[in-house]
Each structure stands twice: as structure tokens, then as C-alpha cells.
Amino acid sequence: MIIKKTISVPKETLIEDGVKGVQKQVLLGPADGAPTFTMRQFSVNAGGYTFFHSHDFEHEIYILKGYGIARKDREEIPISADMVILVEPNELHQIVNNGTEELVFLCLIPNINE
């Protein structure tokens, strides 16, 4: 059994074209011996956004704090704390923080992609 405080997990700032104001933490994953899937936590600053992209694996997302928008191909859906999102494989998606406070969410993926 591995137990961690999330605050103890290092934060990586994503610095790439197409992403703004995003920090990532790998809370549980292959490095911990997790066999199947990986739990990451993302913090998005006000005005920030994740990649607008698609890939062949799913996301399972839980919004912990804040509010924003889940963008898909032709639609934008308001999101806020205590909502969950399934992003299906090969589906275009982006999380946008159009609010005034930090947006924090868990995003889990199958291990092979981490």
C-alpha cells in the first residue's frame, strides 16, 4: 500500500505550444507499481487551457475545484467541481479555465500512454 499527500507530489509545468498555465502531477502510476492505469492531477490557472487534441485512449476526469469549459469538436460544455467527464478514445477535447480561480482536476489514463 502506498499512501501520499497530493501536496507532496512534484508539479511539472507544461511548456509547449497549445497549452497555457497548466501544471501536472502524477499522483499514482507505473513508478508506484500501479498495474493498469495512472492518476494525474492538473491545475489550470485562470485563463489557461490544456491541449486541444485527440488520441487513441480515454480520459476519466473528476473536477476537484473551480470551473471552466470542456471543449469538444463543435461544442463547449460548462464544467465545475464535482462533475466527471469521460473523454472517449479519438475524441477531440480541451479543458479551458475561463473562470477567475484555479481549476483543478484528476485525469486518469491507461498506463501504456503515460
| Residues forming the site for a copy of itself (CB under 8 A) | 1-7, 27-28, 32-37, 39, 57-58, 60, 62, 64, 70, 72, 77, 79, 82-89, 91, 93, 106, 108, 110
Nearer to a copy of itself, 1 or 15 (CB): 1
Instruction: Report, in Å, the least distance between residue 15 CB and a copy of itself.
Output: 25
Adjacent-strand bridge partners of 12: 24
Taking the CA atoms of residue 50, residue 80, residue 42 and residue 51 in that order, the dihedral angle to the nearest 10 degrees is -10
Nearer to a copy of itself, 17 or 35 (CB): 35
CB 66 within 8 A of CB 81: yes
Taking the CA atoms of residue 18, residue 44, residue 105 and residue 50 in that order, the dihedral angle to the nearest 10 degrees is -10
Question: In angstroms, rounded to a whole number, what is the distance separating the alpha carbons of residues 90 and 97?
Answer: 22
Instruction: Report, in Å, the least distance between residue 112 CB and a copy of itself.
Output: 9
Instruction: Report, in Å, the least distance between residue 88 CB and a copy of itself.
Output: 6
